[in-house]
Chains A and B, each alone.
Chain A
Amino acid sequence: MATTFAFAESRDGNLRKVSFEAVTAARRAADATGGGEAHALLLGAPGIAARAEELGRYGADVVFVVEHEGLARYNPEAFAATAAERLRAGDYRAAFFPASAQGRDLAPRTAAALGVSLASDITDFELQGDTVLARHPGYTGKVILSLRLAGSPALVSLRPGAITPTEQPRTPRVEQAKPAIDPASARVSVTETTQRTGARLDLGEAPVIVSGGRGLRAAENFKLVEELADAFGNAAVGATRAVTDDGWRPATDQIGQTGRNVSPDLYVALGISGAIQHLAGMRTSKTIVAINKDKDAPIFKIADYGIVGDLFEIVPRLTEEVRKARSGH
């Protein structure tokens, strides 16, 4: 039996889906050792403790809550010092962080503070003896690496979307704790967080991504992409680098080697030829649909389902059919 750890990420007082993925991983790892406890650490402004119960729903036995006005926003140094202090205080076998924008910053800082190594951006894992075997897509997703991580705790960051959050409800014990350093003393401070406009789901959290490439021919034609995303109801909109370079979409929508890496349940590629740069960011999607006029486009080699033809004819029809399917017809 071993205790495991999950870092719970929140924004504006709400837990992010990646937190449930981390807790699910910690629960799974604890169970694999014969039923140890899964602990979670939740940092935020006063009031964040109200979210602890949600972590219990995914299997957290104990939630350590650190409430402080100075933790309302991400504070890299205070978060890392507090996570490291918690990890030192318990005998943790493995610790899971989201490999989100925040987690990719936090996890290596925490690892360095503890003097341990970190397996980053992991899509699956298993405990083996006193090591962790971790799966990681490397070389822009062209090679799958199996990594062996020694050391205790074994720090792992999880690629968003790779672990499916699984409910295993329990009522967690909530323990209040204090920040390991005064957040106001941090050298680095986040002075502003700006939410991007639009209520659409984020690329890292959406179960469905509808993505567009040069085949859309003009910025205004992205409304076809938007409409299909709206029909799914649970979709985010992505784009290729060519499209973001041309300013048709913001740079933050870019999926690929130099953009976001995503693994949604469904990825719909519209007018995307499938350059390596783009495939690097989406090839781990569970199901891939491609619509392209060129039957030899590389995207069809990795797509589960393809339709060859004019997307300007096909997409409106698809949008209509998806809308029908969604409304239960």
Chain B
Amino acid sequence: MKIAVCLKRVPEMELRFSIAGDRKSLDPGGLKYEISDFDGYALEVALQLVEKAGSGEVVAISLGPDGVQETLRKALAMGATRAVQLKADEVPFDGSAVAAALAAELKDGGYDLILFGRMATDTGSGTVGAMTAHLLDLPAVTAISHLELGEGRGTAGRDLEGASETVSFPLPAVLTIDEGIARPRLATLKGIMAAKKKPLDVRPAQLGEVRLTVESMAMPPERSGGRIVGEGPDAVPELVRLLRTEAKVL
């Protein structure tokens, strides 16, 4: 079983962000980076599938500047077989431009599965997986929280609003992973040592045309927040009055 996992390096979301002077990017000072949540789940799914199959490889792919090598080493430490950096000075916001570069790399790779997280936590867009699948002319199932593989086919579960659906697909396929299938393992010391010797290839990213760009960034308006109506059950009538007359939601 040969599986590619596309990983994005994103800032740790728990940190305090500030906007850079260009008003279009985050101030890099103080940022730390990690594998985007859902991409970590995708990597874990890939590792478990190959372990279960008994043989195969997991290829971790990440697009971006040299900083993504750290992300890829982490994936190697968790157990990926080898890694590929698609080198670009920056990662375009436009998912279709990224998908073009990934499709160029993945084409003719002979993968049984190509996995993505269901979305990156920085852009919050979730477009690259399905777009890459289209460019590769592969079937795709997105945002799956359940997965079973059989001979040449698979079955996935997706959560809808108030419902869920079961989806059948042939292999090879592109899947984007939601929570629910697997929680990423921690890298062991042995894994970290082994990762240093695993191959990490660097190739230029063949990005597609960029038509979606960040015009500006802003911190969300401070909510009027912090208004404590009162303490204990006696504050309830005042709260209800405010919800009726001020917020007009009752």
B95 touches A108 (CB 8 A): yes
B250 touches A187 (CB 8 A): no
1/0 per position for A277-302, CB-CB distance to B under 8 A? 10010011011110000010000111
Tell which of A160, A196, A265 has the most Cβ of chain B within 10 Å: A196
Chain A residue numbers with a CB within 8 Å of B131 are: 108-109, 111-112
The stretch that binds B, out of A22-30, A31-39, A172-180, A307-315, is: A307-315
Chain B residue numbers with a CB within 8 Å of A326 are: 250
**Known contacts A188-B140, A287-B243; is A204 also within 8 Å of B161 by CB?**
yes
How many Å lie between the Cα of A311 and that of B56 in the bound state?
53
A76 on the B face (CB < 8 A): yes
B126 touches A251 (CB 8 A): no
How many Å lie between the Cα of A187 and that of B235 in the bound state?
58
> Within the complex, which residue of A109, A284, A295, A322 is in contact with B134, where a contact is CB–CB below 8 Å?
A109
Interface of B is mostly: mixed
How many Å lie between the Cα of A40 and that of B121 in the bound state?
31
> Within the complex, which residue of B37, B133, B229 is in contact with A305, where a contact is CB–CB below 8 Å?
B229
A194 touches B161 (CB 8 A): no
A184 on the B face (CB < 8 A): no
Residue of B nearest to A311 (CB): B233
**Known contacts A104-B143, A204-B161, A265-B249; is A146 also within 8 Å of B233 by CB?**
no
B247 touches A117 (CB 8 A): no
Residue of B nearest to A160 (CB): B161
**Known contacts A139-B11, A142-B13; is A196 also within 8 Å of B163 by CB?**
yes
CB neighbors of A among B93-138 (8 A): 93-97, 99, 121-131, 133-135
B189 on the A face (CB < 8 A): no
How many Å lie between the Cα of A141 and that of B123 in the bound state?
10
A149 on the B face (CB < 8 A): yes
In the complex, what's the smallest C-beta–C-beta distance from A180 to chain B, in angstroms?
A: 14
A295 touches B228 (CB 8 A): yes
A321 touches B237 (CB 8 A): yes
Tell which of B99, B124, B126 has the most Cβ of chain A within 10 Å: B124
CB neighbors of B among A105-164 (8 A): 105, 107-109, 111-113, 115-121, 133, 136-151, 160
1/0 per position for A63-75, CB-CB distance to B under 8 A? 0000000000110
Interface size on B, residues (CB 8 A): 84
Chain A residue numbers with a CB within 8 Å of B214 are: 145-148
How many Å lie between the Cα of A138 and that of B242 in the bound state?
31
A101 touches B212 (CB 8 A): no
A208 on the B face (CB < 8 A): yes
Residue of B nearest to A307 (CB): B235
**Known contacts A104-B142, A251-B180; is A205 also within 8 Å of B249 by CB?**
no
B236 touches A317 (CB 8 A): yes
Chain B residue numbers with a CB within 8 Å of A144 are: 217-220
CB neighbors of A among B193-218 (8 A): 210-218
CB neighbors of B among A201-242 (8 A): 202-205, 207-208
B231 touches A307 (CB 8 A): yes
Chain B residue numbers with a CB within 8 Å of A121 are: 124-126
B164 touches A196 (CB 8 A): yes
Residue of A nearest to B210 (CB): A117
How many Å lie between the Cα of A295 and that of B226 in the bound state?
10
Residue of A nearest to B218 (CB): A144
> Within the complex, which residue of A76, A203, A266, A314 is in contact with B232, where a contact is CB–CB below 8 Å?
A314
> Within the complex, which residue of B97, B212, B227 is in contact with A149, where a contact is CB–CB below 8 Å?
B212
8 further A-B pairs in the complex, CB-CB below 8 A; given A195-B162, A317-B233: A113-B134, A118-B125, A144-B217, A145-B216, A149-B211, A196-B162, A196-B164, A302-B225
Residues of A within 8 A of B (CB): 11, 73-74, 76-77, 100-102, 104-105, 107-109, 111-113, 115-121, 133, 136-151, 160, 187-196, 202-205, 207-208, 251-252, 254, 257-261, 265-266, 276-277, 280, 283-284, 286-289, 295, 300-310, 313-314, 317-318, 321-322, 325-326
